[in-house]
Amino acid sequence: MTRSSLIAFPLLMLPLALHAQQTQPAATPPATAPATQPKATMVFDFQDAPIDSVLNALSENFGLIIIKSEPIPGRITVVSRGEGGKGVSQAQAIEITNSLLLPLGFGIMETSESPEGRPIYRAATTSELKKSAPVGIFRN
């Protein structure tokens, strides 16, 4: 090989090396996006909404995990802005939701906590919840 071919060969390979660097995949993002911080209050404003909409709003606003044992039929209308329009607390929201669900034969109850510290609630028929509830939770 001549001296000029020894110089030319690496120069010919340079565009391939640059192209390979440009086409490398970008670093993959983390598998799970960071969760948004739960809010302290929630405004209820549901007009003829499916019950799932209320449960989804509870989950998103307060960072709850809600597990349903079966579909909950029905639609509801509820408006509650809390004192001074600032929204209702998580405990008040659960109470409001149960007051809407109990006449339909359903309810939600906290059952445990996720490894990340998020409360896990179970949405089920009242008879299912009574079986797993601590004594005194449901009145006859």
Q: What's the average model confidence in pLDDT over 62-70?
A: 90
Q: What pLDDT score does 106 carry?
A: 93
Residue in 44, 94, 86, 87 with CA at minimum distance from that of residue 64: 94
- pLDDT for residue 3 is more than 80: no
- Local confidence band at 134 (pLDDT 50, 70, 90 cut-offs): low
* Total Cβ atoms within 10 A of residue 117: 7
Q: Which CATH number fits domain 44-132: 3.40.50.720, 3.20.20.60, 3.90.1300.10, 3.55.50.30?
A: 3.55.50.30
Over residues 35-51, the pLDDT tens digits come to 567 788 999 999 999 99
> Considering the chain, what is the average pLDDT of its residues?
76
Residues in the chain: 140
Backbone φ and ψ of 64, nearest 5°: -85, 155
Domain boundaries, the chain: 44-132
Q: How far is 13 from 3, CA to CA, in rounded Å?
A: 16
Tokens of 27: 């670093």
Over residues 102-111, the pLDDT tens digits come to 999 999 999 8
Tokens of 8: 């030319």
